[in-house]
Amino acid sequence: MGNQRARSQAEIESRQQEIIYACDNIYISSGYDAVNLKKISEMTSLSRTSIYTYYKTKEEIFLDILKQEYLKWQKELEVGFSQTDTFSKEDFCRFLTNSLINHKKLIKLLAEHFDSIENNCRIDKLCEFKKNIRPLYLTFLQGIKKIFPQSNDEQAEHFRLFFFASIGSLYSRTNPTEKQLTAMQAANLFKNHNFYELFYEHTLMIAKYL
């Protein structure tokens, strides 16, 4: 199978999913740096040469993992927003924080590897990714407008921008590496923050003008 070309879109998607599954398993068990196309080929029915037909770098595989994580989150937000019209700001921010916390893989990839993933993908792959995750942003904005009908488009967009921009930075701040932790403790800069509560407080703060 590894030396044969896929003959249908379904077969292409099946092979891509096999690659994604292997990549994800290596990442979960051994970390991001342990992932490479050689290891992925050893866990699939595809040769390394065949994998290049679908992905030129491991980052392109992670881009598809990110897409899947984003769209799973989008579906959950869509359901949550459809079930209520009466969120207070506190309830709204707690709901968003709870929904995000359920996607730890997404948070970790955004915090630790997002720049590397985007910078090591072909431009056509990156453009396709941005188009594919657009439903998440639309669901997010539609939810804001539903819960806070008095907010204008600019206020809703500013909230969305600051919400997404803060995910990686706040996670990194609350989950430093051993080296970062040692350096911050040496400089007396470290404070032990809980990501969940810090993110909720930040979300509540940026929701002030909705």
Q: What is the 3-state secondary structure (H, E, C) of 151-184?
A: CCHHHHHHHHHHHHHHHHHHHHHHCCCHHHHHHH
| Each residue's pLDDT tens digit, 64-114 | 999 999 999 999 999 999 988 788 999 999 999 999 999 999 999 999 999
pLDDT at 8: 80
Say which CATH topology domain 1-55 has.
Arc Repressor Mutant, subunit A (1.10.10)
Q: Is residue 110 within 8 Å of residue 50, measured between CB atoms? A: no
Q: Is the pTM value of this prediction over 0.85?
A: yes
| Each residue's pLDDT tens digit, 21-52 | 999 999 999 999 999 999 999 999 899 999 99
Does the domain at 57-206 match CATH 3.10.20.30? Answer given as no
Domain ranges of the chain: 1-55, 57-206
Q: Is residue 19 within 8 Å of residue 55, measured between CB atoms? A: yes
Report the distance separating Cα 184 and Cα 178, nearest Å: 10
The model's confidence at residue 129, banded by pLDDT at 50, 70 and 90, is very high
Q: Write phi, then psi, for 35 (nearest 5 degrees).
A: -80, 130
